[in-house]
Chains A and B, each alone.
Chain A
């Protein structure tokens, strides 16, 4: 009797968790893994992928989401953050960077909204140079203070009083890759969702 009761208990406990997994992870995995990537969505280049690693390393996701909410739910549409995002927009994203916090704005289409390399560079070096009142941390270790810039160096355009005696601030390969990645963030192509829906109807 005790044995049966214990068996029922452990079976029930196992079953509840596995049911939840099947419904919320297992079934969606089967359904969504068949999604084709949209034609316009390009795979990350090696440099963009490296930049994405920097994005993960510095924990950008803890203040910036990468998902756009639909019309009538929040003001994402009115702020022109892009059309509502769909599963197909993320097929190349591993790990996912959807995020759950917007201390700063959404970045899913930042490559469309802000195309200036110099803005991104200065913003990463010291956010308050370009955005007054910003609470974003500075990332000085992505840059190097040099006496003179090399031929391939990207030199930042920052106020003279911020750089000691005539030196220059140049971007490291990490900063260049991160900016490349940010500029690649573009899901402005037509939503592929409709195509998928039509396929299902056929």
Chain B
């Protein structure tokens, strides 16, 4: 026997042993133990994320109304557009998406490593620090102490508090990963581990680096876009990769595609940021590099898209019976759409029109709302009953939540996409007065406010429903909302 084959056989015995051990514990019992190990921590992550969703939605709505009613609430400095708008962005990005995403990543990590979470006590410190940081940062913006850079408005102290909070979130994930009871590392876990390493690096270089003039602008957008690369998108993709096969009950379409998708994502995505400065005063090579990388994003996006959609394909009827799946499939479709749109928007000829317009705002919401937020909703519908040991009491409310938010975001994105395109054409037409680009946009801004209002009503319903569940109010149910047993399904 060669030494090499000896290690191989040792490996195999090890694996067999591990498999045997994991078999000893009843599978369901293990899942219950895992859920219990992080139930209260993750529930707090979710509950506080919903608080920020509420606050952030109200900020967003006020900002949206102010775009067509500029004198509404015009006498209050703390509610002026230029403060409410960044407050909206920061609360939904660092409050809602980050906290809800963190909760979901923790739960998935524990389930995918098949052990109860390690160092769970750290999570309570993490969630407290994180919330304090977001609250402090938001107050700073509202009361006039913004740092003045998009996505980086929080004062450095707030950034430092959030960074420490993140460390207390990352350590349990890494510790749990080290003690994992599985040999195969599922694709969701790649994205989780990568984001846990990426986010602190990115956040610290952006918040505490020292740059001058246009380099700072470059850094600003390298960061701004990368917050999506290293955090928001991995959260959404990890969840889509987890919940699509899980709920449908089929394996993911292709392991090799997920491998290609992950590494090309890691390689290309974080070079994209400077496409926010096309036509700006930065060296041309720098902008060109970002445009190339943005177009290269088609590779990971198609790899992920084929994987997700082929997994779902032929199982669309299941969407009727699972809120989680319905939200997740909506989000996965939005991911494909927003990514391909993003690659197109980086082309100079298209960017010339869309840059500096509401088109970009529509694009941002197609990403962070239609993709990330919808997938987070779907995930919370799945995870929460397992933590609270109480099903969602009123399935009808889930339906309202889905349709209000889905129709709302579609109106929102369509309105701003069309309105923003015309705004850009007007702006680039020297025969037209600049004012025309302002006035012609207003009808679309009303439509955007309509879409936004529907979304916020949907959020209120969801938050109310979440509250009922935490209090274990309403009728006790033993199956998820809309769930039907197979024989009933065929009768429908």
Count the A-B residue pairs with Cβ separation under 8 angstroms: how many? 209
A109 to B83 Cα, complex, angstroms:
24
**CB-based nearest B residue for A86:** B281
Residue A46 CB within 8 A of the other chain: no
**CB-based nearest A residue for B66:** A137
* Contact string against B for A residues 1-35, beta-carbon threshold 8 Å, 1 for contact and 0 otherwise: 11000000110111011101101110011011101
Given contacts A12-B263, A33-B215, A78-B430, contact A24 B222 (CB under 8 A): yes
B222 touches A21 (CB 8 A): yes
A98 touches B74 (CB 8 A): no
Q: Other than the known A25-B211, A102-B427, what 11 A-B pairs have Cβ atoms closer than 8 Å?
A: A12-B263, A16-B267, A25-B205, A28-B214, A29-B215, A32-B212, A57-B146, A65-B356, A96-B217, A104-B438, A137-B70
A90 to B263 Cα, complex, angstroms:
37
Tell me which of B146, B147, B194 contacts A13 (CB under 8 A). Answer: B194
Residue A67 CB within 8 A of the other chain: yes
Tell me which of B190, B226, B266, B357 contacts A102 (CB under 8 A). Answer: B357
**CB-based nearest B residue for A21:** B205
Residue B401 CB within 8 A of the other chain: no
Residue B193 CB within 8 A of the other chain: yes
Please, which residues of chain B bring their CB within 8 A of the CB of A95? 147-149, 216
A137 touches B81 (CB 8 A): yes
A102 to B193 Cα, complex, angstroms:
38
Minimum distance in angstroms from B258 CB to a CB of chain A: 14
B352 touches A12 (CB 8 A): no
A87 touches B270 (CB 8 A): no
Chain B positions within 8 Å of A, measured between CB atoms, are: 7, 11, 66-68, 70-71, 74-75, 77, 80-83, 85-86, 144-150, 183, 190, 193-194, 197-198, 201-202, 205, 209, 211-220, 222, 226, 230, 263, 266-267, 270-271, 273-274, 276-277, 279-283, 286, 289-290, 348, 352, 355-358, 360, 427-430, 434-435, 437-439, 442
A98 touches B198 (CB 8 A): no
Tell me which of A56, A73, A87 contacts B279 (CB under 8 A). Answer: A73
Specify the main secondary structure of chain A where it touches its partner: loop
B85 touches A62 (CB 8 A): yes
Residue A69 CB within 8 A of the other chain: yes
**CB-based nearest B residue for A16:** B266
**CB-based nearest A residue for B438:** A135
A170 to B282 Cα, complex, angstroms:
41
B77 touches A141 (CB 8 A): yes
A32 touches B215 (CB 8 A): yes
Q: Which among B149, B212, B282, B439 has the greatest number of chain A C-beta atoms within 10 A?
A: B212
A137 touches B80 (CB 8 A): yes
A156 to B168 Cα, complex, angstroms:
54
**CB-based nearest A residue for B177:** A6
Minimum distance in angstroms from B140 CB to a CB of chain A: 11
**CB-based nearest A residue for B63:** A62
A128 to B439 Cα, complex, angstroms:
13
A87 touches B214 (CB 8 A): yes
Please, which residues of chain A bring their CB within 8 A of the CB of B202? 17
A138 touches B71 (CB 8 A): yes
Sorted nearest first, the 5 A-B pairs with minimum C-beta distance are A59-B82, A78-B430, A20-B270, A90-B213, A56-B148
A31 to B213 Cα, complex, angstroms:
12
A165 to B270 Cα, complex, angstroms:
60
* Contact string against B for A residues 83-102, beta-carbon threshold 8 Å, 1 for contact and 0 otherwise: 01111011111111111111
A13 touches B428 (CB 8 A): no
A28 touches B215 (CB 8 A): yes
A97 touches B283 (CB 8 A): no
A103 touches B215 (CB 8 A): no
Q: Which among A10, A91, A137 has the greatest number of chain B C-beta atoms within 10 A?
A: A137
Residue A134 CB within 8 A of the other chain: yes
Please, which residues of chain A bring their CB within 8 A of the CB of B70? 127-128, 134-138
A62 to B77 Cα, complex, angstroms:
16
A75 touches B428 (CB 8 A): yes
A131 to B433 Cα, complex, angstroms:
12
